[in-house]
């Protein structure tokens, strides 16, 4: 009997279990230039001691002038593809999570498609700020689970240095540039991405934003002179929300797959501030040595943060095949997400 063209699509009434989805390769890329806290002391009224004590950040990477989000995303993607043994033509879909696209349009995912030779792939960007990578993983997973696609490339890439106000000491010490990527594929095995959950609260959209450059305040002399094309943040408010939202998301993800924090070998959170990670670990009951931290070297790289951390932790052997890991993120929107993965 010939196979119907829709044979792979999941019938909602079918009893067949959904296809499990695995991360079969990860990759990351950070630019060469290192900006240390001592360098920032020369730019704004700050000190290495304040930055380390209040944030845990020691240095961050800054992209070269001609190095764009799509260049960094493509480098991370090629490394993930190499590890997965996947060629450009094998990829069905590219999702790029970013709040610093090369241009408002076309999508940075399309520019990456061309750079990695993924000619067959559909490509789009999605924006959920620092939560973007996990939102993109969830979307990619759904396309695979439904049988629509087999191989999805998910990327988090940012050139935050272009929207950082280098005269504002309360934000310019926090951010950096870089990219991370993961290749998602279905497999016959039962483990893989066990659960994901996402959330948002638009009522607090004003505590972390870039006001201008969109339809509300298009670029004008006034928007530029008012420094409205830079990121603005009410730090304390964001801090409090980050801790609560990440705790809630992490607990929901664990509950959904009937696990407790004791079952988890490694927690990989969004890398914004060491004090947020310590408060989160404390509330979840996880010792800090279970929590992967790289913000001391990269600062906050928004959508790329958790993707870079996942790649580094996997390559460093922080968890083994079969281990359970918990990813949890938070960002502007407000948005948050968590995922439990059996590696």
Residues that bind ligand UT7 (CB under 6 A): 46, 50-51, 54-55, 130, 169-170, 173, 235-236, 238-239, 242, 272-273, 276, 300, 330-331
**CB-wise, 70 or 302, nearer to ligand UT7?**
302
Told to judge if 270 belongs to the known catalytic residues of this protein, a careful annotator would answer yes
**CB-wise, 152 or 242, nearer to ligand UT7?**
242
Told to judge if 130 belongs to the known catalytic residues of this protein, a careful annotator would answer yes
**Alpha-carbon dihedral 42, 47, 52, 55, rounded to 10 degrees:** -80
Q: Which residue is nearest to ligand UT7 (CB)?
A: 235
Q: Which residue has the tokens 């241009």?
A: 103
Residue 287 CB, nearest distance to ligand UT7 (Å)? 22
Catalytic: which of 37, 241, 294, 300? 300
**CB-wise, 211 or 235, nearer to ligand UT7?**
235
Contacts for 305 with CB less than 8 Å, ≥ 6 apart:
130, 133, 156, 180, 270, 271, 272, 295, 298, 329
Residue 198 CB, nearest distance to ligand UT7 (Å)? 16
Residue 247 CB, nearest distance to ligand UT7 (Å)? 13
Residue 21 CB, nearest distance to ligand UT7 (Å)? 26
Catalytic: which of 241, 270, 273, 294? 270
Element containing residue 15 per DSSP (H, E):
none
E runs forming strands in 100-213: 122-126, 151-159, 177-187, 192-200, 208-209
**CB-wise, 115 or 169, nearer to ligand UT7?**
169
Provide the 3-class DSSP secondary structure of residue 285: coil
Q: For strand 177-187 and strand 20-29, is the pairing parallel, antiparallel, or unpaired?
A: antiparallel
Please tell me the distance from the alpha carbon of residue 191 to that of residue 320, in angstroms, as a whole number: 13
Catalytic residues: 130, 270, 300
């Amino acid at each position: 009997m010939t196979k119907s063209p829709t044979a792979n699509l999941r019938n909602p009434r079918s009893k067949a279990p959904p296809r499990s989805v695995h991360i079969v390769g990860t990759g990351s890329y950070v630019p060469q230039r290192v900006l240390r806290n001592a360098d920032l002391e020369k730019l704004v009224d700050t000190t290495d001691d304040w930055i380390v004590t209040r944030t845990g950040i020691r240095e961050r990477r800054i992209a070269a002038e001609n190095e764009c989000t799509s260049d960094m995303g493509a480098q991370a993607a090629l490394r993930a593809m190499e590890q997965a043994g996947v060629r450009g033509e094998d990829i069905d879909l590219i999702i790029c999570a970013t709040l610093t696209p090369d241009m408002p349009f076309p999508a940075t995912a399309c520019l990456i498609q061309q750079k990695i030779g993924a000619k067959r792939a559909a490509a789009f960007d999605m924006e959920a700020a620092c939560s973007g990578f996990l939102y993109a993983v969830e979307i990619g997973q759904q396309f695979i689970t439904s049988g629509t696609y087999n191989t999805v490339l998910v990327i988090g890439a940012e050139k935050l240095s272009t929207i950082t106000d280098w005269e504002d000491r309360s934000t310019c010490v926090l951010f950096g540039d870089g990219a991370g990527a993961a290749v998602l594929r279905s497999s016959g095995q039962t483990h893989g991405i066990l659960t994901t959950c996402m959330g948002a609260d638009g009522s607090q959209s004003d505590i972390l934003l870039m006001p201008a450059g969109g339809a509300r305040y298009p670029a004008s002399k006034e928007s530029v002179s008012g420094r409205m094309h830079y990121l603005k943040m009410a730090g304390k408010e964001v801090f409090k929300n980050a801790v609560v939202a990440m705790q809630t998301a992490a607990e929901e993800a664990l509950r959904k797959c009937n696990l407790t924090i004791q079952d988890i070998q490694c927690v990989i959170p969004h890398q914004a501030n060491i004090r947020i990670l310590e408060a989160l670990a404390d509330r979840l009951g996880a010792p800090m040595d279970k929590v992967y931290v790289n913000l001391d070297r990269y600062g906050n790289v928004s959508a790329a943060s958790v993707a870079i951390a996942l790649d580094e932790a996997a390559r460093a052997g922080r968890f083994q095949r079969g281990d359970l890991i918990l990813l949890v993120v938070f960002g502007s929107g407000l948005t948050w997400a968590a995922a439990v993965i059996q590696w």
